[in-house]
Structure 1
Amino acid sequence: MNQLKIVFIISHVHKSLQLEWMIDGLVRKNIQLSFILLGQSKTELSQFLHDKNLKVFHIPLAGKVSMILAFFKVFSILRREKPQVVHTHLYHANLIGLFAARLLGIKRRIYTRHHATLHHQYYPKAVYIDRFINKLATHIIIPSNSLYETLVNLEGVHSDKIRSIPHGFDLAYFSTRDTTIEKFKSKYKLKGSHPVVGVIARHTEWKGIQFIIPAFREILKEYPNAHLVLANAGGDFEKEIAAMMLAIPDANQTIIPFENDVAPLYHCFDIFIHAPIDSKCEAFGQTYVEALAAGIPSIFTLSGIANEFIVNGVNALVVDYKQSEMIAFNIRRLLNDPPLSKRLIEQGRVYVEKRFSIDQMTTRLEKLYLTGE
């Protein structure tokens, strides 16, 4: 049987554990993989691919003129490689890669949708490009079912194009040695702090960090050694978040611009919080899975994939959107009820192990690549 030949096109990704895990899973199958990376050439993703001895093409991308040049380079590579499948990730890769693949008559043109209602809410002109990308694709992978309504009702996509394939995770990665955790606590000056409340989210308005900070301020009144960690920070709401953080003493806060190795970071937290502002703003929401895989008692609002597997009081505590008071109440609840925290930890791991393995994801991807189903 001839190997299935797939070209992945990915734009502006420096590091992505989720992509690395997916690639590892696909390498173990009878699939020939090649990659076109748009953007910077010296990235951790690029190094990962080279270490795997996979074929990688680097194409610079910065500005409108370079987009035109990138299109012709992608077109040339695809014409030479002759893949049966092109699978694209992220905005520029979708636009350039699917357009080139369409012109070349490549029969299976797939993209994974990584944003939800972002463009509809904040960048309405970009919705026209989204609709064009949708037409170029033969299949659209949605990592959570909350995207179905956005694609079908707001963007006019025919349901036959849509395939629901949740992201997969190397769940063993989230089991971290105590020595590594201690190093991270020292690195971020968290030793002696309790409780450590963790948030891993970009500083953008719809992530809801602005509702977590007031809740933490209330907890700080009762727990003077409490510590708030905002990790993988940075974004278009950064100034607003920084202004709110001025009300928290420096000794009780840590802001981490970016941390590649998130597993030991999760294990530094006593409580994890993720509070997006509505049910559809997350396309997936990997922190829901990561926090439970790491065994951290968590407080969530439901968005993206959380709508499908988070059960209030069973594997996490659920609060209403934009409700600082409820977040503070549930922090106290976890601190005052260790048996509840223990049950949430146990059930959280059970739920993610059932739904989010790499093997489940790559098996479904392989079926889509081979049959379109």
Structure 2
Amino acid sequence: MLTKKRITYIVSNINKALAFEWVVQYLSKDKFELSFILLNPGDSVLESFLIKHTIPFIRISYHGKKDLPGAISQIRQFLKKNQTEVIHCHLFDANVAGLIAARLTGIKKRIFTRHHATFHHQYFPRAVWYDRFINRMASDIIAISENVRHVLIEKEKVNPNKITLIHHGFELEKFRETSEEKVNKLKDRYKTLGKYPVIGVISRYFELKGIQYIIPAFKSLLSSFPNAHLVLANATGNYKQEIEQLLQTLPPDSYTEVPFEEDLFSLYQIFDIFIHVPINTDIEAFGQTYVEALAAGIPSVFTLSGIATEFIQDGQNALVVPFKDANSITEACLKILSSEDIHSRLVSNGHKSVVDKFSIQRMIAQLEKLYLCE
């Protein structure tokens, strides 16, 4: 009988993440014993999910860097007791605490997934030192896009042999399997019943996401479609004040801000058009919404950043606009709304372009190969 390899995921400051739920569901039960360490200030949707699925875990109360020494100690204790053979860290605090603890414990296979690209280089240059430290502490680094791989090699001088490219994977069929009842409930909650077109955005309020160009574009769209409605989901972040000022230029009943919506699959289905327009080609590490919107069958307007540079083709599976260009965003929306041919082509080709490249099965197979590689 084969001995199962013991894998511990170390994750920080996550409430809900479908990616980790899918790992729990799809990772081979015959090959691996999976456990989690959560660095969170309190309980979370993810914690409830782990309890429901009887996955061993501990939660370490974590509020910031002052808790780092204690977190490292508790992680070491868990790793020793669990006899963990492979750690896989996600997000900054988990990377620092988890990789240090695993190295002190003598674990050779120390993996982390790099979830940002040039964010620190552009906005927090002093944090690049920590990125380089994390890179050194890991035995393996997962790059989630060619852009991230490029940043690691060219900007941070990581040995290419240390990097494995694994795209995010999704249960793509779930984005079309929601019920009319659930969708109508969200339409009612977010005041989009009877509105057309509903323009959807799912991005935290950061400058890099380009929402400051979507709002004036939507304002222009109202001239042609006075009954249009803008939905801004994940509406929190350090650019909130600037976003709120721009929203004051819109009619108050023409937009809805959504801080958090758990039913992501139904949320996409209330949109007539989806927009994601990061401000340059390097800033987005991946951009899950590129994939999710196309999987959901929503015609989309994009700038090319992160994973989009690898598979988005203008006029085929989405409409591509220049960076920082509100007028072009408006024009792209009008194209979709005025042409049934463009609309149907984007929906059909969009779904085809993501169905194989970003399947959860493909991602899990690549992860399992990395976990088993000595």
* Percentage of matched positions with identical amino acids: 47
Q: Secondary structure at the match of 1:125?
A: helix
Task: Report whether the alignment pairs 1:253 with 2:228.
Answer: no
Q: Distance in 1 between matches of 2:192 and 2:67?
A: 44
Q: Aligned match of 1:265 in 258, 267, 274? A: 267
Aligned twin of 1:231 = 233
Asked whether the 8 Å contact 1:196–1:226 carries over to 2, the reply is yes
Correspondent of 1:198 among 193, 200, 209? 200
In 1, are the aligned partners of 2:268 and 2:293 still within 8 Å (CA)?
Answer: yes
Residue pair 2:4, 2:30 contacting (<8 A) in 1 also: no
User: What residue ranges of structure 1 are gaps of 5+ in the alignment?
Assistant: none
What are structure 2's unaligned runs of at least 5 residues?
Answer: none
In 1, the alpha carbon distance for the partners of 2:230 and 2:243 equals: 13
- Separation in 1, partners of 2:266, 2:98: 36
Query: How far apart in 2 are the matches of 1:347 and 1:304?
Result: 20
Q: How many residues align?
A: 372
Q: Give the CA RMSD over aligned residues.
A: 1.1
Corresponding residue SS for 2:125: coil
Q: Distance in 2 between matches of 1:31 and 1:223?
A: 54
1: distance between equivalents of 2:345 and 2:154? 39
* Distance (whole Å) between structure 2 residues aligned to residue 54 and residue 260 of structure 1: 21
Q: CA deviation at 1:63?
A: 3.1
Residues 343-366 of structure 1 show CA distances to partners (whole Å, capped at 9, x for unaligned) of 110111111111111110000000
* Distance across 1 between alignment mates of 2:353 and 2:234: 25
Shift of the alpha carbon at 1:293?
0.6
Amino acid at match of 1:139: D
Cα offset, 1:40, TM superposition:
2.9
Structure 1 residue 20 corresponds to structure 2 residue 3: no
Q: Partner residue of 1:362?
A: 364
Letter in 2 for 1:166: H
* Cα shift at 1:206: 0.3
Q: Tell me by how many angstroms 1:264 deviates.
A: 1.1
Contact 1:168/1:357, CA 8 A, preserved across alignment:
yes
**Rounded Cα–Cα distance in structure 2 between residues aligned with 1:322 and 1:92:** 32
Contact kept, 8 Å, 1:299 with 1:327, in 2: the verdict is yes
Equivalent-residue separation in structure 2 for 1:231 and 1:64 (angstroms): 29
Rounded Cα–Cα distance in structure 1 between residues aligned with 2:112 and 2:105: 17
Return the offset for 1:27.
4.8
Tell me, in whole angstroms, the C-alpha distance in 2 between the residues paired with 1:58 and 1:155: 32
Match of 2:293 in 1: 291
Partner of 2:147: 146
TM-superposition CA deviations, 1:327-356 (whole Å, max 9, x none): 111111001001211111011111111111
Q: What is the TM-score of this pair, normalised by structure 1?
A: 0.98
Runs of at least 4 residues off by over 3 Å? none
Q: CA deviation at 1:65?
A: 2.9
C-alpha displacement at 1:179, in angstroms? 2.1
1:46 corresponds to: 47
Find 1:314's aligned residue among 316, 326, 346. 316
CA distance in 1, matches of 2:302, 2:290: 8
Q: Under a length normalisation based on structure 2, what TM-score does the superposition of the two structures give?
A: 0.97
Verify the 8 A CA contact 1:87 1:109 in the aligned structure 2: yes
Matched with 1:124 is 125
Deviation at 1:28, TM superposition (A): 4.4
Q: CA deviation at 1:144?
A: 0.7
After superposition, what is the alpha-carbon deviation per residue over 1:55-109, rounded to whole angstroms, capped at 9, x for unaligned? 0111111133311111111111112222221110010110011111112221110
Measure, in 2, the Cα distance between the counterparts of 1:298 and 1:129.
36
Q: CA deviation at 1:30?
A: 2.0
Give the letter aligned to residue 328 of structure 2: M
How far apart, in 1, do the equivalents of 2:53 and 2:267 lie?
27
What corresponds to 1:330 in structure 2? 332
